[in-house]
């Protein structure tokens, strides 16, 4: 089983630092290549570049009252959450369906029902 991970392309876990401007300040984020690819995929769903996506995630997190002191960890969780939601059938895998068009409240309610054991897993 571990060979699936051990024998993967080492480039996937190579870290890269990317800098972008957010609210007039230059910010740098260091992530592994696989996370950068996931962020690109997420952004493409809504015609956003990675810097635009990161800016939106950061600002909307602050607006929601979250502490994003460890923004890099937050981004890793966003990537894994995106894949997990797809695997569980809670968001579509079709790239042409914009994430911003999804009924977020319905998805979150279904997800909570699944966690509580009140709804079948998809």
pLDDT at residue number 14: 94
Is the sign of the CA dihedral 104, 59, 14, 11 positive or negative?
positive
Block residue for tokens 């997990």: 84
pLDDT at 1: 84
Q: What CA–CA distance (Å, rounded) separates 90 from 115? A: 13
Beta pairing class for 25-32 and 15-22: antiparallel
Q: 53, 60 in Cβ contact below 8 A?
A: no
Local confidence band at 115 (pLDDT 50, 70, 90 cut-offs): confident
Domains of the chain in sequence order:
3-115 (1.10.3990.20)
Mean pLDDT, residues 26-37 = 96
Condensed to tens digits (0 to 9), the pLDDT of residues 40-50 reads 999 999 999 99
């Amino acid at each position: 089983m571990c060979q699936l991970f051990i024998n993967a392309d080492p480039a996937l876990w190579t870290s890269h630092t990317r800098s972008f401007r957010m609210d007039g300040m230059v910010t740098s984020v260091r992530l592994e290549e696989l996370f950068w690819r996931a962020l690109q995929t997420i952004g493409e769903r809504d015609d956003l570049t990675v810097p635009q996506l990161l800016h939106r995630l950061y600002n909307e997190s602050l607006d929601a009252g979250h502490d994003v002191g460890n923004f890099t960890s937050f981004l890793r969780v966003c990537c894994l959450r995106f894949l997990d939601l797809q695997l569980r059938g809670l968001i579509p895998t079709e790239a042409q369906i914009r994430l911003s068009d999804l009924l977020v409240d319905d998805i979150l309610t279904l997800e909570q029902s699944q966690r509580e054991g009140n709804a079948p897993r998809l």
